[in-house]
Structures are given as C-alpha cells and as structure tokens.
Amino acid sequence: MIISIAGFTESVIQQVVEFRGRQPILLIGEKELLQLLRSPELLANVLKAKQAELVAHGRVHLGLDTARKTKRRPINDLPAASVSLLGDTLEPLPYVTADDSFGELVFVHELPDVDWVIASGNGVTLDLPVRRLDEGGLINLVHTLNSMGWTTSEPSWSIRQATTAWHGTGAREFVNALTGRKKRYGGLEDIHHTEQVTYFDTCLGGGFYTLTADVSSDPSRVVLRCNISFQLVGIPVDMAPLRHLFERYHAMASGFLRPLTGRAVTREHLKDHEPLEAVGYLVSSDDVPSISWAERPESSSEEARIPDKWVTGIVARNPYCKAERGATPEGWPMAVESSELIICALRNHHPLEKRPEGYSLISWELAKTSDAKVFRPVADW
C-alpha cells in the first residue's frame, strides 16, 4: 500500500495495473486519507474494495465516496402488513397512538426464542452501527433488509416523542408513519428535538433483529444514531448475507458475533389473571386460523363456514400504567409503566364477528437486544 499526499501520475497507475498479478499495490491519495482519519471504521471495507477492483477488474480504485444515497425507493417494494389494526368501533387505523414517553421498547405479535433448539449452548448477538444517515437513508436501510429477505409481513415498530408513542405493524406502514410526522405531530404541545424509532422483525431461521434510531424532529430529519442488533440461533454457516450488509454500510471493522450469556427470552405468568379493557384489535385475514376456534360448529352448512377475519391480538389499556412502586407484578418491565396502552397477542384467536365479553392478561415474554426491549404480552378471553 502506497499513500501519497501529492497524488499519482498516470505512469504509476499504469504500472500498478500491469504488475498486479505479481504484486498488487493499493494506492491511497490525500482526500481518501483525510476521510479515513475521520472515519477509521471504513478502512477494512475500502482496502477490500481497492483489492477487488485491481485484481478482478484491472482498475485502480481512487476516491472514497462515503455519502449515503437517499433516493427514495417505491414503497410498494416493501411487503404490506398481513395484520390490520382496528379501533374499538372497528375503524381501520394506520397506527395506535398512546400517551407515553421515551423508551426503546416495541410490542410484538410473535417473539422467536433462539434457545428453542435441540443443540445445547447459547445463541449469539451481532450489532451493526450505521452512520451518516437521514430519514431517506433510514428508509433505504429497511429496503436493504427487505432485499436480503429479512422483512416479513408482520414487523412491529414504535415511534416515540416526549409525551406520545405511535405503535404499528408492517414495513410499508412504518415508512408512511415515519415520513408523515406532520400528521403525527398534529395537536402535540411538547415536541422534543428528537424522536426514537424501534423496529422489529424476524430473520435467519428463527432469529430476529431490532433497528433503533434517533431521528431529528426538524425538517432535516438527520439520523443522530442508528443500530441494528441481531439475535441468532448460532453462527450461520453462510455468512455472505451478513458480510454483504456490513460491507454495504462500511462496518466490517466493528462486526463481532458474541455469545449470549443468559436466556434469550424470559417468560412470566400471572397467577391471578388481570382483566383488560380492549380499545382496539389486531385482525388477520388468513383463510385458515393458526389456532382452532373451539366454538366452530361441525355442521357442513353455510353457518359452519370458517370466518375470514380473525382477531389475533388486542390493544388494551395498560392495567399497570403509572402504578405505584411494588404494585406491578414481578418481572413487569419498567419501560412499560409509562405507557397508556399495551398491545397483546391472543393465546386463542376468535372471529372478528364474535367478540367475547372480556379479555385478561395471562402472561408475557421479554427479550433484550443491545439497545431495545422486545415485549410480547399475552391475553386470553
């Protein structure tokens, strides 16, 4: 490797290309050096790109482009949510709005357990810090995860301000909510200079990831901090997708798989079920429900048809909102205590047209990534 502040002549570049078979030489100029001194984490990725360009294509790679392309991709490239949010009068909702405060916590419909495998041992965690983003770059990051097959039809997300949180499901719906901040901010009196984003989805044969970001509330929409935290069953045999992701975001030098030291998912059960007041519903339009309906008649008549809309979760008022110290059950996350609402998965699904008289909180599951909490309350009827 040769570093030259004065640059390189055409004859030097030609000789480097001619002798690349015997001795590859990588060239770094003044502009690249200054950029690498400001962002040392780019070095490993830059050297690999220079070597590949020289050896494979016979070209000398000079110049370092570290800017994030923020050209907006079509939102239809992302999968739509397979679960609809309905209000208490069954009106469709783009998201659930609740009184809350800052806290990197997201309610999820399903929570994979990376310990739920035959082999002994522990799962692993991997963090990808992403730098130099704006709102468009953050959306492109979601598109990148989708292009790698890591976006399902049921991701969960939350966007939080100082006094309000918006919770939803679906990648398209997330992008719409993120870009529609003026609509979300309508009526808010206390607007903090930054809003918190937490996005959750599953990937890699049973694992999951959280994407967290701090986005400025002003029109610049600069992303002040962004991190993707993976929890995987183990070290994948095929590391190519993860390597590609880290190379794309110039983070090869910061990528380390680390073993989890405890249980990935903790579970708690309530001895005395807590009554819930439902104020919304999560509805799936699957033709065949994942959990059978006990009251379904065995007759083959028209009345015995399987309903096409099933309630798989509910939005309920938080029974422990701002509860006094010691009043919450053991294991209940402190980050939930400020939330006006909780979003619960249903242990037993039921048709939308036959809603029960009441619901109760029976248990919950909790997982922690490097900078977020993934929470799955479970209710029944």
What does the pLDDT read at residue 293? Answer: 41
Q: How confident is the model at residue 336 (pLDDT cuts 50, 70, 90)?
A: very high
Q: In 3-state terms, what secondary structure has residue 35?
A: helix
Mean pLDDT of the chain: 86
CB 283 within 8 A of CB 92: no
Name 347's Cβ contacts closer than 8 Å, sequence gap at least 6: 291, 362, 378, 379, 380
Q: What is the pLDDT of residues 222-234, one digit of tens each?
A: 999 999 999 999 9
* pTM for the whole structure: 0.80
The values of phi and psi at residue 177, to 5°, are -70, -40
What is the share, in percent, of the chain residues with pLDDT greater than 90? 52
Q: What is the pLDDT of residues 133-166, one digit of tens each?
A: 899 999 999 999 999 889 998 899 999 999 999 9
What does the pLDDT read at residue 11? Answer: 87
User: Averaged over 206-210, what is the pLDDT?
Assistant: 91
If one compares 45 and 115, the residue with the highest pLDDT of the two is 115
What is the share, in percent, of the chain residues with pLDDT greater than 70? 91
Q: How confident is the model at residue 66 (pLDDT cuts 50, 70, 90)?
A: very low
Residue 297 has pLDDT above 50, yes or no: no
Residue 100 has pLDDT above 80, yes or no: yes
What does the pLDDT read at residue 67? Answer: 42
Residue 188 has pLDDT above 70, yes or no: yes
Residue 123 has pLDDT above 50, yes or no: yes
What does the pLDDT read at residue 327? Answer: 82
What does the pLDDT read at residue 104? Answer: 87
Residue 315 has pLDDT above 80, yes or no: yes
How far is Cα 290 from Cα 17, in angstroms, rounded to an integer? 61
Q: Can you state the angle between helices 135-147 and 240-248, rounded to 10 degrees?
A: 160
How far is Cα 201 from Cα 208, in angstroms, rounded to an integer? 6
Residue 307 has pLDDT above 70, yes or no: no
How far is Cα 233 from Cα 319, in angstroms, rounded to an integer? 34
Token duo for residue 273: 């079920």
CA 115 to chain centre: 20
Burial class of residue 238 in the structure, from the number of CB atoms within 10 Å of its CB (0-12 exposed, 13-18 middle, 19+ buried): exposed
What does the pLDDT read at residue 62? Answer: 80
**DSSP helix, strand, coil percent of the chain (3-state; round to 5):** 20, 35, 45
If one compares 292 and 143, the residue with the highest pLDDT of the two is 143
Residue 259 has pLDDT above 70, yes or no: yes
Residue 227, beta-bridge partner list: 129, 212
How far is Cα 313 from Cα 342, in angstroms, rounded to an integer? 11
What does the pLDDT read at residue 35? Answer: 78
Residue 98 has pLDDT above 90, yes or no: yes
The DSSP code sequence of 107-128 is E-S----TT-SSS-S--EEEEE
| Rg of the chain in Å (alpha carbons) | 25
What does the pLDDT read at residue 118? Answer: 86
User: Averaged over 248-262, what is the pLDDT?
Assistant: 86
